[in-house]
Amino acid sequence: MSADPTQVLAFETDCHLFDGCGFPAPGLHSFLFEPLWGDADSNLYFNKTMLLALLGSVIIVGFFWAAFRKPKLVPGKLQMTAEAGYDFIRRGIVYETIGKRDGEKYVPLMVSLFFVIWMMNLWSIIPVAQFPVTAIISYPAVLAGIVYLLWVGLTFKKHGFVGALKNFTGYDKNLGGVLPLSMTIEFFSNLLVRPFTHAVRLFANMFAGHTLLLLFTIASWYMLNGIGIAYAGVSFVMVLVMTAFELFIQAVQAYVFVLLACSYIQGALAKGH
C-alpha cells in the first residue's frame, strides 16, 4: 500500500529546524499517490499521475486542434506557434536524422512524442500538479516500447529476416575470430539494452530533477525558524535556480528522446545493414 501524501505533507510542513524533529527528506513516498478512484490493492485505480497524463494529452490535442482547425494563409499567434513547433521537429530532428524523403511519414509521430513528453515533464513546475509524470518509469517505458516495436518492425520489413538479424547483430565477416563475440554483444545491446536505456534516460533525469526540487523546497520550509532563516533564503534561491534548470532539462529530454527514436528508424531504413 502506498504512503498517504496528505499525512506525509502534514509531517513535512509541521517540522522545522530546532523543533526537535529530523529533516523530512524526500524519498519514494514522494512518488507514491493514493488512488483518486478505485483500489490500489486490486491494481484497478486512477491516481494523480494518470490524471496528469490524461490532462496533458488533452491539452496537447486541444492546442493543435485550436491552432489548425481553421488554418489561415497569414497565421495568427496560436497557429504561428503551433507551426513553429511542428516545423522545428520536422526540419530540426526528423529531416536532419532520417532525411526528407523517408522521414516525412514519421513526422506526426515524432511531433506527438515530443509534445506529449514535454507536457508530462512540465507538470513538475506547474502549481498544484507539481509532479513530472515521466518520473514514473511505466510512462517512459510505454513510449520507448512504441519506438522499439516500430524500429524492429521496420528493420524486418526493410531487410527481411536474415538482413534484420545482420542489422541487429552488426554482422561483418571482416571481424574474423571475434565475430561471434561481437555479434553477441551487439544483439544484446540493440534488442535488450537499447529500449531500456531509451526509457531510463528520460525517467532518471525527471526523477532526479523532481527529487532535487523537493529537497530544496522542503529545506526552505524546514529551516524557516530562528537563525535558520538565512539558510532558508539560500535554499529558496536554489529552488528558483533548479526550477529554471528544470525548464531547460524538460525540453532537452523530450528532444533527446525523439532524436534517439529518429536515429533508430534511420538505422532500420539505411541501406547496407
Q: Are 102 and 269 in contact (CB under 8 A)?
A: yes
Is the confidence at residue 3, as pLDDT, over 90?
no
Domain range list for the chain: 52-269
- The DSSP call for residue 95 is I
Which three cell numbers, joined as nine digits, stand for 141? 517505458
More confident residue, 160 or 8: 160
Q: How many contiguous H segments (helices) and E segments (strands) does the chain have?
A: 10, 2
Predicted confidence (pLDDT) per residue in 14-26, tens digit: 677 766 677 778 8
The cell for 109 is: 509521430
Of 5-14, 180-189, 197-206, 263-272, which range is least confident?
A: 5-14
Residue of higher predicted confidence among 2 and 229: 229
What pLDDT digit, counting tens, does each position of 105-114 carry?
A: 999 999 999 9
Tell the residue number behind the cell numbers 489561415, with chain if given: 72
Strand partners, 46: 37
Contacts of 253 (CB under 8 A, 6+ apart): 117, 121, 134, 201, 202, 205, 206
Q: For 125-137, how does the pLDDT look when each residue is reduced to its tens digit (9 = 90+)?
A: 998 899 999 999 9
Phi, psi of 170, deg, nearest 5: 65, 40
Question: Alpha carbon of 154 to those of 71, 148, 165, 216: distances in Å?
Answer: 33, 10, 13, 45
Task: State the pLDDT at residue 244.
Answer: 94
